[in-house]
Amino acid sequence: MAKHPREERTFLMVKPDGVKRGLTGEIIRRLEQRSLKVVAISMFQPTREQIHEHYPKDETWISRLGEKTLTTYAKYGYDAKAELGTDDKLEIGKMVRGWLVDYMTSAPLVKMVIQGVHAVDMVRKLAGNTMPSAAEMGTIRGDYSVDSAAVANKEKRAVHNLIHASETAEEAEHEIAHWFSPDEVHAYNRAEEDLQF
Ligand code: ADP
């Protein structure tokens, strides 16, 4: 049976830049303000292996990362082959994935399961565009970060964008199962759930 829409869950992680800038509380505040509830939460130091398992391993996803980097290089007139030694999107995607593992293991992370109406889309909307420089003001990334692919790729590192949030309900299920055991995810009603909208 399909779940009640109020029970939709998503996975969110405060990335190293969010933790080190003391933005964990502000990020949670913005979620709770929208009636989303934190049903699991924990700070931990991830291993490289755990992060490797977190990000998709299929070539389509990796090529997409590479393609985005190539687009950035073309847009800003950088020579991908000269700077990265290749202009193959899969090879560059693997490189970016490696930068992501370096970034995500550089400090403790705060992982959470967030539940509520349209949780997946709501959290992505609150997060804003993947590239902080393109994220709308009023979103977490737009208000607190200014990083971009142009800067990050020039410095051969992943884009620092404060949080990770699942993109689809299927991805959320997979990520929640990867990062939490069922007994770590809690059930409770927020006060307004007992009232009418
Ligand atoms: P999102 O995190 O918004 O779902 P993606 O799945 O496209 O975005 O990418 C995963 C993460 O990889 C991003 O959050 C960002 O930290 C990093 N990233 C994405 N594209 C690039 C890029 N071109 N160069 C460097 N890092 C990138």
Residue 174 known to be catalytic: no
Ligand 1, atom 8, lies closest to the CA of: 130
Mean pLDDT, rounded, for 58-73:
93
At 193, the pLDDT band (50, 70, 90 cuts) reads: confident
User: Ligand 1 centroid vs 52 CA: distance in angstroms?
Assistant: 14
Assess if residue 174 is contained within a domain: yes
Residue 2, pLDDT above cutoff 70: no
E strand or H helix at 113: strand 109-115
Ligand 1, atom 26, lies closest to the CA of: 158
Pick the catalytic residue: 4, 160, 164, 186?
164
CA pair distance 153, 5, nearest whole angstrom: 39
- DSSP structure class, residue 150: H
* Prediction pTM value: 0.93
pLDDT tens, residue by residue, 101-134: 999 999 999 999 999 999 999 999 999 999 999 9
Domain count, the chain: 1
35 lines ligand 1 (CB under 6 A): no
Specify the CATH number for the domain of residue 48.
3.30.70.141
Residue 51 token pair: 């992060």
Ligand 1, atom 20, lies closest to the CA of: 65
User: Ligand 1 centroid vs 94 CA: distance in angstroms?
Assistant: 12
Q: Residue 159: how many CB atoms within 10 A of its CB?
A: 25
Assess if residue 78 is contained within a domain: no
Domain extent for 46: 5-56+107-117+128-180
Mean pLDDT, rounded, for 143-170:
95
Residue 197, pLDDT above cutoff 80: no
